[in-house]
Homo-oligomer: A and B are copies of this chain.
């Protein structure tokens, strides 16, 4: 029957690449970047690649392993801050800039890199970069680690603000209206919202980072 019309080789010969871990991971990252991490399912990845769902399991053992590889692939190479001049503060500002840039490209990263996990080597490399930027400041190892986590956390928080939008608060948003409508319950909040500045996101990001680095600077000065 198939031979009858000689349709055998032509439609069968889709010259598809053999499946590979990196192809799977790249496809998964593309889906997460475009449609959010919750859109990443084994079926969706397989469909995008032109394979069946279970073929993926020949290359990754389960979805959480795939997610780990996705993370360590998406974070990319850690930044080299040794070339940034002007001391720890400039280095850390550059670190935050780079981290925010990567997380902006992959908005699912900050929400997925919480909790108890075994980090991949690249992710650990980012921590190494931040801790290294604080070498020679007189801070202890613990303090440098804590400062690094503080920076990660700050970027994570401000990122989820811009990505998913705690701009819910800014300007004429629904939240702002609700608050102003109940000014009796939220006197300070509605007064704060009535100010002239509408864009909360970038302000909050810069404000938080400045406060944080100021606090670090105070401690470092105290130590020297």
A149 touches B161 (CB 8 A): yes
Across the interface, A215 reaches (CB within 8 A) one of B119, B169, B182, B215, namely B215
Q: Is A117 part of the contact surface with B, judged by Cβ < 8 Å?
A: yes
Residues in B neighbouring A91, C-beta threshold 8 A: none
A164 to B147, CA, bound (A): 19
A153 touches B208 (CB 8 A): yes
Across the interface, A195 reaches (CB within 8 A) one of B140, B165, B200, namely B140
A214 touches B204 (CB 8 A): no
| Proximity bits, A181-203, B CB within 8 Å = 1, else 0 | 01001111101111101001001
A143 touches B189 (CB 8 A): no
B116 touches A165 (CB 8 A): yes
B145 touches A192 (CB 8 A): yes
CB distance from A224 to the nearest CB of B (A): 16
- Given A116-B164, A200-B145, decide whether A127 and B189 contact each other with a Cβ distance below 8 A: yes
Residues in B neighbouring A145, C-beta threshold 8 A: 169, 192-193, 200, 204
A182 touches B121 (CB 8 A): yes
| Closest residue of B by beta carbon distance from A135 | B188
Residues in B neighbouring A186, C-beta threshold 8 A: 124-125, 128
Residues 102-130 of A contacting B (Cβ, < 8 Å): 111, 114-119, 121, 124-125, 127-128
| Closest residue of B by beta carbon distance from A114 | B160
Residues in B neighbouring A157, C-beta threshold 8 A: 149-150, 152-153, 156-157
A144 touches B192 (CB 8 A): yes
Q: Is A31 part of the contact surface with B, judged by Cβ < 8 Å?
A: no
Residues in B neighbouring A124, C-beta threshold 8 A: 175, 178-179, 186, 189
Q: Is A89 part of the contact surface with B, judged by Cβ < 8 Å?
A: no
Q: Is A19 part of the contact surface with B, judged by Cβ < 8 Å?
A: no
Across the interface, A211 reaches (CB within 8 A) one of B158, B169, B193, B215, namely B215
CB distance from A62 to the nearest CB of B (A): 16
User: Can you list the 6 inter-chain pairs with the closest CB atoms, starting with the nearest?
Assistant: A141-B192, A153-B157, A211-B215, A115-B164, A215-B215, A116-B165
